[in-house]
Amino acid sequence: GDSVTQMEGPVTLSEEAFLTINCTYTATGYPSLFWYVQYPGEGLQLLLKATKADDKGSNKGFEATYRKETTSFHLEKGSVQVSDSAVYFCALTGDYKLSFGAGTTVTVRA
């Protein structure tokens, strides 16, 4: 079935560092791809999405490009802040449901 694999964490960075979280997917059709973020003590919230190949999703300084040729949707941010500390989930639509990756915990130190 459809599935998502994302890089394991935890990831610890200093403020203003560059962040990349790798995400690859397996799907039989043409899924939509998402990044959700979970801040401490809260539920998940949509960070960005892309619905077709070569689309770039962006929000709050984060970007991800839907790469069909490499089946990837890597999340990037050029200069992270302490407030970006959270768990990040890659997800895709497939079958009847949204499939989530295991999540990557990111901690940004001042």
Partner 1 sequence: NAGVTQTPKFRVLKTGQSMTLLCAQDMNHEYMYWYRQDPGMGLRLIHYSVGEGTTAKGEVPDGYNVSRLKKQNFLLGLESAAPSQTSVYFCASSSFGQGTSPLHFGNGTRLTVT
Question: What single letter denotes the amino acid at residue 77?
Answer: K
Q: How far is the CB of 59 from partner 1 (least distance, A)?
A: 11
C-beta closer to partner 1: residue 53 or 102: 102
Report how far residue 23's alpha carbon sits from residue 91's, in angstroms, rounded to the nearest whole number. 9
C-beta closer to partner 1: residue 17 or 55: 55
Q: How far is the CB of 43 from partner 1 (least distance, A)?
A: 3
> 3-state SS of 44-107?
EEEEEEECCCCCEEEECCEEEECECCCCECCEEECCCCHHHCEEEEEEEEECCEEEECCCEEEE
Q: How far is the CB of 12 from partner 1 (least distance, A)?
A: 18
Q: How far is the CB of 19 from partner 1 (least distance, A)?
A: 19
Neighbours of 102 (CB within 10 A): 13
Chain residues binding partner 1 by CB under 8 A are: 4, 31-32, 34, 36, 41-46, 49, 89, 93, 96-98, 100-103
- Which two three-digit tokens encode residue 2? 């459809």
C-beta closer to partner 1: residue 62 or 101: 101
C-beta closer to partner 1: residue 11 or 44: 44
